[in-house]
Structure 1
Amino acid sequence: MKKLLCILFLFPALAMAQEIAVLKYSGGGDWYGNPTSLPNLAKFCNQNINTKLNSRTATVEAGSPELFSYPFVHMTGHGNVVFNDNDIVNLRNYLTSGGFLHIDDNYGMDQYIRREIKKIFPDKELVQVPVSHEIFKGPYSFPKGLPKIHEHDNKTPQAWGIFIEGRLVLLYTLETDLGDGWEDQEVHNDPKEVREKALKMGANIVNYAFNN
C-alpha cells in the first residue's frame, strides 16, 4: 500500500482512475497488435485480484509526457522497433521514476528490442529474471516461471529484466506470447486452461507493477 501511494503521487492521473496503456512506437512494427489483450487482462484483474482498472485501455507514445500517467505500460509487436532520442530519454525517466514497462515479443521483435533497450540503459544489461522472483509467486504461483502460451522456436519461455535498486522496472517476455493468451478466445482458439495461465501470469505482472 505504501508503494501504491508513492505511485499515486508520481502518477497523479491515477487519483481519478487506474489505467494501463499500450506503447506506440516507430520503426514499422505492429505496436497495435493484440487489440483485445489489455482490455481482457484488465477485466480479469478486476474480477480476481481486486484492482480497479479502466477496461478501455489507452495508447501512449514512447516520447509523450502522458507516459507518466500510467504505472503499467505494455508493448508488443512482431517486427522492427525504433526509439528516437526523445523516446529514449522519456522512457528512461519514466522507468527510473516508478514506471513499469512490460514488453511481450509477439514473435520477431527480439533482435530489435534488445538494441533499443540498450539505448535506454547503456550502462545496464538485460538479465534473466529468476523463477524465485516474487513476480512468479503471487497472486498466482508459477514455480517454473513463465507459462508457454504459443509455440515459436521450440524454446523455453524466457523472462528478461532491467533492475534499478533491486526493483524490476522493465520485463521482457520471450518465447511465451502472453498477449496472445490474453486475447478474445476466438482470435487464436487457445484452450481455456492456456488462456487462464496467460491471464494469471499477466495479473502477477500487473500486481507487481502496482505494488513494488
Structure 2
Amino acid sequence: MKKLLSILLLTPALLAAQEIAVLKYSGGGDWYGNPTSLPNLAKFCNQNINTKITAKTSTVEAGSADLFSYAFVHMTGHGNVVFSDNDITNLRNYLTSGGFLHIDDNYGMDQYIRREIKKIFPDKELALVPASHEIFKGPFSFPQGLPKIHEHDNKAPQAWGIFVEGRLVLLYTLETDLGDGWEDAEVHNDPLEVRTKALKMGANILNYAFNN
C-alpha cells in the first residue's frame, strides 16, 4: 500500500485510500454478486480494528485508471472471467505498485480465474499461502489458516497467492466463500459464529492490504 500511495501523492484520489471496491470484469460472470458483503465487512472493521472505511462500496473496472485509487479491491462470482489486454496490463501495474486484489470464488469460477491470473503474471505460479503467514495472525488469530464458511465441494478451504518481492499482492480464496459469510444474516442463514469467523478473516485481509 505504501508504494501505491507514493504514486498517488497528494492527489484527490488519496481520499479513496479508506474506500474498498468491487472489481467489475467481463466474460459473463456475476461480478455484482454478494451486494451486502463489503458494506458489512467495512462496518465490522470500523467497529473492531479502528479503520475508517466508507460503508458505500464502489465499483471499479479492471481496465480503469480509477483502480489505483483503492488499496483493496474485492472480486467474486460464479462463472466465466475474461480480462482484456488492457485489463491485464492495468491489473499487473496496480498489483506491482502496491495494490491488493482479493478474489473469492463464489463457486464455479476456479477454472476461469486461474487462466486469467496466469495472463496477469505469466512468470509466476499461484502458491498456497501457509497458515504461518501473517495474514492469518492478526488482528484475529487463525492458527489453522483459512476458515471454512460454505461447503461447496466439501474440500478443505484453500488460500492461494501471488507474491511480488515477498509481498502477497493477490489472494485467491477457494472452497470457503468468505463473501457469503459477510452477507446479511438472512441471505444464507449462516449461524452468527460462522458469519463472525468470516468477518474476522476479512478484517485480517483488509488489515494486511492496508499495512503492507
Give aligned pairs, total.
209
Question: C-alpha separation between the residues in 1 aligned to 2:25 and 2:14?
Answer: 23
Gaps of 5+ in 1: none
Residue 9, structure 1, aligned to residue 6, structure 2: yes
TM-score, structure 1 as length reference: 0.96
After superposition, give the CA deviation of every residue in 1:78-108 in whole Å (9 maximum; x if it has no partner): 0000000000000000000000000000000
Moved more, 157-166 or 7-16: 7-16
* Distance in 2, Cα, partners of 1:160 & 1:204: 15
Q: Are the aligned partners of 1:157 and 1:176 in contact in 2 as well (CA < 8 Å)?
A: yes
Shift of the alpha carbon at 1:57? 1.0
- Contact 2:17/2:71 (8 A) holds in 1: no
Alpha-carbon distance in structure 1 between the residues aligned to 2:81 and 2:50: 34
Aligned twin of 1:19? 19
Secondary structure of the residue that 1:171 maps to in structure 2? Answer: strand
Question: After superposition, where does 1:64-103 map in structure 2 within 5 Å?
Answer: 64-103=64-103
Instruction: Give the Cα–Cα distance (whole angstroms) in 2 for the partners of residues 111 and 7 of structure 1.
Output: 30
Residue 74 of structure 1 aligns to a residue whose secondary structure is strand
Q: Tell me which amino acid in the other structure corresponds to 2:6.
A: F
Other-structure match for 2:112: 112
RMSD: 1.1
Partner of 2:195: 195
Would you say the 8 A contact 1:182–1:199 is kept in 2? Answer: yes
For 2:62 and 2:16, how far apart are their aligned partners in 1?
A: 23
Work out the CA distance in 2 between the residues paired with 1:86 and 1:80.
18
Contact 2:16 2:69 in 1 (8 A): no
Q: What CA distance in whole angstroms lies between the structure 2 residues aligned with 1:17 and 1:160?
A: 25
